[in-house]
Amino acid sequence: MPLDPATVARRWFEEVWNQGSERAIDELAAENLIAHGLGEAGHPASRDDFRVFWRNLRTALPDIHIRVEETVTEGDKVAIRVFLEGTHLGEGLGVAPSNARVNISGIIVARVINGQIVEGWNNWDQLALLQQIRAIPAPKPADRFLSAQV
């Protein structure tokens, strides 16, 4: 009997991300995987594209840990609210290592068929990531209040 979508999602984050198992990518992601939100806007990623993304992020944040906060399942889809933590020690993001701690949230929706992820929609706080690794400047405290009043 195939695993339910929430179980597959939890295994995905534990084995692929937290344990760094490349073998788990092949086990838990369908060969014809379509991943949205990982690369250039409007261009879905394949399983091989995902593998490049995964290697780059694990190189940039070698101590990466993604905590699953919550899952909601409906049919063959699961929504996963996650929290990513790590230290920017490598160049996998195209930015020199900053040694900065990274803490960002994300929400992913995955479609699971026969125990494998066949399609995923990824939404991460990429602005916070870029600010935390010092790729772009973070707003000054006064700027945050001004933009909230507009």
For residue range 100-136, list pLDDT tens digits in order. 999 999 999 999 999 999 999 999 999 999 999 999 9
> 3-class DSSP state for residue 109?
strand
| The pLDDT of residue 141 | 75
Residue 62 identity (one-letter amino acid): P
pLDDT at residue 42 above 70? no
pTM of the shown model = 0.88
| The pLDDT of residue 125 | 94
Percent with pLDDT over 70 in the chain: 90
Which of 75, 57, 76 minimizes the C-alpha distance to 13? 57
Which residue(s) pair with 111 in the sheet?
Answer: 77, 119
Which residue(s) pair with 34 in the sheet?
Answer: 119
The 10 Å CB-count burial string (b at 16+, else e) for 54-85 is: beebbebbeebebebeebebeeeebbbebebe
> Is-contact 94 133, C-beta < 8 A?
no
pLDDT-based confidence at 2, cuts 50/70/90? low
